[in-house]
Amino acid sequence: MNLSPLQKARYQYQPKLPGMLRNGIADICVKEGEATQSVADQDKIAALFPNTYGKKEITFVKGTNTSVAKKQVVGVILSGGQAPGGHNVVCGLYDALKATDKNNVLLGFKGGPSGLIQDSYIEFTDEFIDQYRNTGGFDIIGSGRTKLETVAQFMEVEKVAQKHGLTAIVIIGGDDSNTNAAVLAEYMAAKKTGVQVIGCPKTIDGDLKNEDIEASFGFDTATKTYSELIGNIERDANSAKKYWHFIKVMGRSASHVALECALETQPNICLIGEEVAAKKMSIAQITNYIADAVETRGNNGENFGVAIIPEGIVEFVPEFSALIKEINELLAGSKTEEFNALPSWDAKYDFIKKGLSAESFAVFEILPTGIQQQLFLERDPHGNVQVSLIESEKLFSELVKNELKKRAQAGTYKGKFGQQHHFFGYEGRCAFPSNFDADYCYSLGYNAFMLIQYGYTGYLSKVSNLSKPAEEWNAGGMPITKMMNIERRNGEDKPVIRKALVELDGKPFKYFEAHRDEWAVKTSFTYPGAIQYYGPSEVCDLTTRTLWLEKG
């Protein structure tokens, strides 16, 4: 196999563990905290999880290991979209398992949850695992988006677990995947199978966080990767001085990625979806907000700039959200086939006009034709608009362009407006993990095995105090049910992990808010550069600006 010099070097990197986990497994014991309850809907969640609800948070501390020695056969899956560091979670889990007893076994089930159902697996060995240390991607066993949520699926998993003598299953995933981990843990406990289930928090979107989970893995590397690219574009814009770059970044349900990239690069504009929703900003208000910055800079002879747009911004705009809901109703059931059978866009346009309310059609009418058509592309599995297919960066640049034409005709805008568009998504999902993510992920995996060894189930592997050096990190676990509430999904009440949105009274947003007016009109760009793996700790082991501002 041909390897780049960086690949070879990264294989040799030894991830840093929290101080407590460095003591040696024989010298790690458990300190139990208070009993927990869910963030909301306590009675309903408790009723759904009678065997795993209300458990205590735990922390690992120095002391004699009191766990019961037994052979462990552990299964692991990667679930959902890729995030840098996933391989190191598996490597940390493997190393802890083998350090405890060389006869312990780790099975990797291929292709995500479906591999667990279909019994498609590989048994990890030293030789195999060493090929993936400190590398990006999920190619070690692949991933998938099959949901583990039905009794029939759980019965299949139970059969596979019995076949292999599994003592535990580790699910590495985001909020939906760890919700499924909690439900599977409850099933296994209710059936008294003896199979434990442990989750690990993953998502580059950054929305799997709370008072216990300070960061989801992959967020650090992904935002550093996007910020490098944005910084490069800023430098180009400042050199060529002739384009406004509209850059869409990942983050459908929350704007953490956009905010972190703005803190790293200080662009002229960054939209925060949570603020748009809180202020009930209209499309016209957002357009004017951007156009004001373009006009001020253009009239000062600076016909260039950078605007960061979160992927899911349109869902935060109340009038656009209402439009999407009406479109979902308009095309419900067989109406989709009827719509698709219409011979031309003009015919489809008439169909839309008749089916929408006057208020929603007024919103629809101001959209560029390309965006209008994107709203009627292939539906998601639930028959809804796929918001991720909407090119919101092009939407706002086109609306700004039209607004500037009006201002030029009125004599207020003297500049020139050229547009460039970018979408940064896949570029960051499988990057070489930063030192922070390599260390954090390895610690999450190592820690997950400690939870297994001590008999816990329905817990999330927890590593905290992340703004400090790894030596000062704390390791332990928290019941997944603590993070859950009831939400309406597809017409049913479902227990789900509550997504973390950008807190408008939080320190990261407040810092951004205090500086954005200056960044809007002045060229205040900063250039983060590429992720650094070797050199001074203050350069190579930096955490995100978000975490630094939150924790100090």
Measured on CA atoms in the order 286, 288, 290, 292, is the torsion positive or negative? negative
Helices (H), 101-251: 113-118, 126-129, 151-164, 175-190, 219-240
Query: How many helices (H) and strands (E) in the chain?
Result: 23, 16
305/400 Cα distance (integer angstroms): 13
- What phi and psi values does residue 531 have, to the nearest 5 degrees? -60, 135
Contact 277, 319 (CB under 8 A): no
Cα distance between residue 150 and residue 462, in whole Å: 27
Residues in the chain: 552
- Given 175, 176, 205, 439, the catalytic residue: 205
Residue type at position 119: D
On the 0-12 / 13-18 / 19+ scale of CB atoms within 10 A, 51 is middle
Asked about 205 being catalytic, the answer comes back as yes
Pairing type for strands 121-123 and 105-109 reads antiparallel
Query: For 412, left (φ over 0), alpha (ψ -120 to 50), or beta?
Result: alpha
Quick one: the chain helix, strand, coil %, rounded to 5?
45, 15, 35
d(CA 169, CA 161): 9
- In this structure, the strands spanning 492-497 and 484-489 are antiparallel
CA distance 251 to 223: 11
Burial of 433 from C-beta contacts in 10 A (0-12 / 13-18 / 19+): buried
Residue 474 one-letter amino acid: N
Distance of alpha carbon 128 from alpha carbon 108, whole angstroms: 11
C-alpha span between 295 and 291 (Å, rounded): 6
Distance set, CA 112 to CA 117, 138, 241, 519 (Å): 9, 10, 46, 43
**Cα–Cα distances in angstroms (integers) from residue 430 to residues 128, 218, 220, in the given order:** 19, 9, 12
The pair of three-digit structure tokens given for residue 258, joined into one six-digit string: 């956009």
- Name the strands in the sheet holding 269-270, side by side, starting at the edge strand that comes first in the sequence: 269-270, 305-310, 244-249, 419-424
Can you list the alpha helix ranges (DSSP code H) found in 241-317?
Answer: 256-265, 273-278, 283-299, 313-316
Rounded to 5 degrees, φ, ψ at 491 are: 80, 5
Can you say how many angstroms the Cα of residue 546 is from the centroid of all Cα atoms in its chain? 14
Q: Are 236 and 527 in contact (CB under 8 A)?
A: no
Active site residue ranges: 205
